Amino acid sequence: MPDCLFCKIAAGEIPSKKVYSDEKVYAFHDIAPKAPTHVLIIPRKHIGKLADAREGDAAGIGEVVTRAAAIARELGLEHYRLVANNGEGAGQSVFHLHFHLLGGRPLAWPPG
């Protein structure tokens, strides 16, 4: 998607603090972290929000989730939260499916 912020970040058009990159997944540190560790993990394929995902997207989203677990291990996180906000009312501000990996401190429940 030509004007998508996260597509531009994954393409290297906008700088980011990269955590991981391959042909299907890109992960980078959030610029406004909500925890000591706050990494965004995105599929390179543009999907606006989780509700827009279709059956053909299952493998790609699975790659994002398993990569999130690997990143958590690499960062030494034993306890963490993986969150996907779906839509503006849930707090989504960039409409490219992304997961927040949050850790490094106790995380309260409910979150908001």
Checking if the pLDDT of 1 tops 80, the result is: no
Question: For residue 62, what are the CA distances in angstroms to 53, 68, 99?
Answer: 12, 10, 12
pLDDT score of 33: 97
pLDDT score of 110: 86
Instruction: Quote the pTM value.
Output: 0.95
Query: How many CB atoms neighbour CB 24 within 10 A?
Result: 14
pLDDT in tens, 18-61: 999 999 999 999 999 999 999 999 999 999 999 999 999 999 99
Backbone angles phi, psi at 51, to 5 degrees: -65, -20
- Among candidate residues 29, 38, 46, 98, the one labeled active-site is 98
Active site residue 98: yes
In our burial notation (b when 16+ CB lie closer than 10 A, e otherwise), range 53-63 reads beeebeebbeb
Contacts 24+ apart (CB under 8 A), 33-36: 34/100, 34/102, 35/102, 35/103, 35/104, 35/105, 35/107, 36/103, 36/104, 36/105
pLDDT score of 111: 79
Q: How far apart are CA 8 and CA 92, in angstroms?
A: 18
Checking if the pLDDT of 112 tops 70, the result is: no
Average pLDDT of the chain, as a whole number: 96
Q: By the 8 A CB rule, do 23 and 73 touch? A: no
Q: How far apart are CA 88 and CA 80, in angstroms?
A: 24
